[in-house]
Amino acid sequence: MLNYKNSTLEALELTDEEWIHVRYIIALCKPFDIWTYIYSVSSGSTIHTAWGVYECLFNHLEDQRKKLQRKRIPWKRALLPAIDASLKTLRKYYSRTEGANGTLYNLGTILCPEYKLNMYDINTWEADLKQRYRREFLKYFETNYKQSSTTAMTETATPIESKCYRRISKAMARFSGNIPDSSKLNDAERYLAEGKHIDRI
């Protein structure tokens, strides 16, 4: 057995204070470790979770930053530049979910029965985003799927169009049983009006 007291490795042995440093850093990085693992073992679609995960990571880093700003111990405050760098990197990747890509993330989020529009009820979201994303979802449906949802698919439809239609129709049809029948609402509006759905195991 290696005797650290008589070894040249003795200088590498962590002190009690350094172990506290390690615990701080582990706590700081823990959410990133958790989500990296979850995504690495996932084989299905995860686009509907992306904004929620970003929300979790941003909130975690910003909360930790506020806590460390109140600290007076130098080594704790020394973690602040690392958090700032992490937030900068996170914003860089989050910016890639905006614009045209943002439409896909919005559709993925709303089409998840556990989220729908409830994801945008979190306090950290801007007040107008929920209505903005709702309008975007309905506009996308109106443009691409409304006619297909009210009339039979024609023989002239391309395989790609049929496949897309079946995919979104299947997602919506799953919840149509509990949606009030109303001629004033199209399929997308009825889907949103139902509220979120949670499977019971």
Using a cut of 0.85, tell me whether the model's pTM lies above it: no
175, 113 Cβ separation under 8 angstroms: yes
Q: Determine the pLDDT at residue 95.
A: 92
Tens of pLDDT, residue by residue over 42-78, are 777 888 888 888 988 999 999 999 999 998 889 889 9
Each residue's pLDDT tens digit, 130-174: 888 888 888 888 888 766 655 444 444 344 344 433 443 343 344
**Rounded distance, CA 60 to CA 87, Å?**
10
Distance of CA 43 to the CA centre of its chain: 16
CA 96 to mean position of chain CA atoms? 13
Q: How far is CA 7 from the centre of its chain?
A: 49
131, 135, 145, 183 from 149: Cα distances, Å: 23, 18, 6, 13
* pLDDT at 1 exceeding the cut of 60: no
What are 105-131's pLDDT values in tens digits? 889 888 888 778 887 887 777 778 888
